[in-house]
């Protein structure tokens, strides 16, 4: 191979900068091309494949999942304003609102939401630990009132679906009873379903600087 002479490199034809992409190509969204359940399952698998550290796949599905850019005009917002039907349990609380889940996983399945919009549990701040405790107390009170003397604490399931494993982007606490008659338990495993105590502990760690607000892994 002959060595290049001085000045040869300057004569080589280099590609025009207009041919080079100014930014990485955007990945096409899968929303609308898959059935909702398959889409959410795919989102969960992509995000859950690396729970301890962010990955490109997890970041992509986080940004393109149905939980991104939520609007207070979703179904919970409409129920709160009386624009959508729901079996309301109590409407006399200035901070919380509760109603029955339209697709119950057990004979008793209530939802408790804050009146102010919060997207999910990962968006809470350390000062919201009081809110989480109030939601848990409210949920326990509603279930206990429904079953009276037959209430069994060990049969009560309380929890938040941790992002991205939820369908409605509005913070809501599930109160399910009894556990022995619970259906679709795969939706309420420790991987995607976190107890109020777990969320409060995470908020305490967030206060100590171990976690950042909005970071869900």
The Cβ of residue 133 has, within 10 Å, a number of other Cβ atoms equal to 14
3-state secondary structure of 126: helix
CA-CA distances (angstroms) from residue 118 to 121, 143, 160? Answer: 8, 24, 13
- Convert 61-86 to b/e letters by CB count within 10 Å (16 or more is b): bbebbbbeebeeebebbebbeeeeeb
Encoding tokens for residue 200? Answer: 């409060």
**Residue 161 catalytic?**
no
- How many CA atoms, within 13 angstroms, populate the side-chain half-sphere of residue 148? 0
Q: Which of 65, 81, 62 is nearest to 73 (CA)?
A: 81
How far is the C-alpha of 160 from the C-alpha of 132, rounded, in Å? 10
In the set 33, 109, 161, 172, the catalytic residue is 172
Strands 88-90 and 108-114: unpaired
What are the catalytic residues?
Answer: 172
């Amino acid at each position: 191979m002959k060595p290049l002479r001085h000045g040869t490199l300057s004569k080589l034809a280099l590609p025009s900068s207009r041919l080079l992409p100014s930014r990485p190509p955007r990945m096409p969204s899968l929303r609308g091309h898959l059935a909702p359940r398959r889409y959410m399952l795919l989102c969960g698998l992509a995000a859950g494949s690396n729970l301890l550290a962010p990955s490109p796949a997890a970041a992509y599905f986080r940004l393109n999942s149905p939980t991104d850019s939520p609007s207070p005009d979703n179904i919970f917002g409409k129920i709160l304003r009386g624009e959508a039907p729901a079996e309301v349990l109590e409407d006399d609380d200035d901070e919380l609102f509760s109603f029955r889940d339209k697709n119950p996983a057990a004979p008793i399945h209530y939802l408790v939401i804050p009146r102010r919009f919060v997207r999910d549990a990962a968006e809470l701040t350390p000062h919201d630990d009081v809110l989480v405790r109030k939601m848990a107390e409210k949920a326990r009170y509603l279930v206990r009132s429904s079953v009276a003397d037959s209430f069994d604490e060990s049969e009560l399931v309380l929890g938040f679906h941790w992002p991205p494993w939820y369908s409605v982007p509005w913070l809501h606490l599930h109160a399910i009873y009894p556990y022995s008659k619970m259906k679709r338990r795969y939706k309420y495993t420790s991987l995607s379903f976190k107890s109020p105590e777990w969320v409060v502990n995470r908020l305490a760690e967030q206060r100590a600087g171990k976690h950042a607000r909005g970071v869900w892994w």
